[in-house]
């Protein structure tokens, strides 16, 4: 799979097409939920909001793999007022940040193991 590097038991995400696509989709979904939906759809409990969250969870899992950061983003949308925070964008950014941290840590371990 292009854009994903696998080590012994960790999956790291390279800043490639999948990550950029996930970030763009997350930004668009958050913009829809924060700016557009409140103008046309009645409240955060609307079916359109729920369908968008369900779709984003599936798409981001397909693009980046399963990460625990997606679960709070999905569940927090059920709390009134929290749905105004761009949680999908923050989740994708956090997945990338953790992925980069894991890459740096694994490279440091490899450097230490060399004779």
pLDDT string in tens for the chain (115-residue length): 455 555 555 555 556 788 899 999 999 999 988 888 777 766 555 778 888 888 999 999 999 888 888 888 777 767 777 777 888 999 999 988 887 776 676 666 666 666 6
pTM of the model: 0.71
Long-range contacts of 51-58 (CB under 8 A, 24+ apart): 53/29, 53/77, 56/25, 56/26, 56/29, 56/88
CA pair distance 30, 85, nearest whole angstrom: 8
């Amino acid at each position: 799979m292009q854009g994903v590097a696998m080590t012994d038991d960790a999956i790291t995400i390279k800043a490639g097409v999948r990550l950029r696509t996930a970030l763009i989709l997350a930004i668009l979904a958050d913009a829809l939920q924060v700016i557009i939906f409140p103008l046309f759809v009645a409240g955060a409990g609307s079916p359109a909001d729920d369908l968008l969250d369900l779709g984003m969870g599936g798409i981001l899992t397909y693009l980046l793999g399963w990460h625990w950061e997606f679960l709070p983003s999905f569940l927090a949308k059920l709390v009134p007022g929290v749905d105004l925070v761009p949680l999908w964008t923050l989740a994708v950014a956090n997945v990338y940040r953790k992925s980069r941290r894991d890459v740096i840590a694994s490279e440091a371990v490899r450097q230490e193991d060399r004779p």
